[in-house]
Amino acid sequence: MDIKDKLSKTERIKSISYESQEENMKKWIQDLEILDAYTIKLEEDIKKYIDDPLKEGFNQKANDYLERASIGKVSTENTLDIRENPSEKRVKSKLTFEDFLGYNPNDDVMYYDINYEPVSFTKGPTQIVGGFARLYEECYNNYITENGLNEEELTLNEFLAEHLNSGEFYHKKDQPFLEFLSSLSDILILPAVIKMLSKYDFITGEELTDVDVTMLGITTIINVFSIASAIHTAGGSLTGAQALKTVLIEMAADAAATSIVYVGDEIGLPKPISMLFALGGGIAVGKLGTKYFITTNDKIIFWP
């Protein structure tokens, strides 16, 4: 007796219809199996045809080119008749991102749009793409309102400068703990040399760009100098306490070098110049550290 017959003979049930879904369920299960197989295959294909080629491309110096890319360096042909000055006929040959942002390092200069109508936040003769500039001015006004700021805490030019300097490609994953361990291992010199030669960080699993390798070379030179200076100051060998202080000095020198490069990037210095200053600054910090913190006494002295 099937379910339909049982239901029809149940008391208080006058009429009921029932249709078996067994065949449909079998078909649904088959469809789900096909979908599951497709999903697995799709994941494999994405890795094979997208992720792996992309990774290989990054390893072929794509990271180096992308890391050096900056939206502030992008320009386009001037098809809008934007002029150097509204009162002159000289037309700009190129339009940069500054022309669209409405950015100008001089706060006392007024911008004009292509119809010579002055944009509200400036004064003085300059010409920009006013429509875009007004959009960014509106973004600025919304930003300071939402964050409870005033124009003295964040000026329009400072806000625009952040947009102008943004857009650099950062290729590394967000894994601060592993990055800290990797930086800590560089103090031992040998891991840093291995990373420079292989252009690969075995702790974080990241490929290193030319900029990474150069910076690693700078910190390695600084660390070698700091260790050599500490050994010389200590009289030819290091005790445990002196070695610990040397590690702290290396970390301080590396941090100084990294900070100098960061500041150089912020103020627009060419990368080679920033790194040259970083090398000099790191060595100076290492030299001062060994001079004032490394003594012939085995005790840890944190101040001369």
Cβ neighbors of 202 (< 8 A, separation 6 or more) are 194, 195
Q: DSSP letters along 162-187, please?
A: HHHH------S---HHHHHHHHHHHT
Instruction: Tell me how many degrees the CA angle 222-226-227 measures, rounded to the nearest 5.
Output: 120
Cβ(250)–Cβ(186) below 8 Å: no
Q: What is the dihedral of CA 251, 253, 257, 258, to 10 degrees?
A: 20
What predicted TM-score, i.e. pTM, was given to this entire model?
0.48
* Mean pLDDT of each 10-residue bin along the chain, 304 residues long: 64 66 88 88 86 71 63 77 69 79 60 51 55 80 88 82 62 74 83 87 81 87 88 78 84 88 77 87 89 67 42
Per-residue confidence (pLDDT) for residue 10, from 0 to 100: 66
Per-residue confidence (pLDDT) for residue 172, from 0 to 100: 64
Per-residue confidence (pLDDT) for residue 123, from 0 to 100: 39
- In whole angstroms, give the CA distance from residue 46 to residue 42: 6
Per-residue confidence (pLDDT) for residue 67, from 0 to 100: 61
For 120, phi then psi, to 5°, come to: -65, -20
- Helices 190-198, 176-186: inter-axial angle, 10-degree rounding: 110
Per-residue confidence (pLDDT) for residue 302, from 0 to 100: 42
Burial 7-26 (b: 16+ CB within 10 A, else e): eeeeeeeeeeeeeeeeeeee
- In whole angstroms, give the CA distance from residue 2 to residue 11: 17
Dihedral sign computed on CA atoms, order 122, 127, 131, 133: negative
Per-residue confidence (pLDDT) for residue 303, from 0 to 100: 41
The residue type at 9: K
Q: Which residue has the tokens 């002295």?
A: 301
Helices assigned H by DSSP within 147-239: 156-165, 176-186, 190-198, 210-234
Per-residue confidence (pLDDT) for residue 295, from 0 to 100: 74
* Whole-number Cα distances in Å, 199 to 2, 39, 171, 211: 72, 35, 14, 11
Per-residue confidence (pLDDT) for residue 292, from 0 to 100: 82
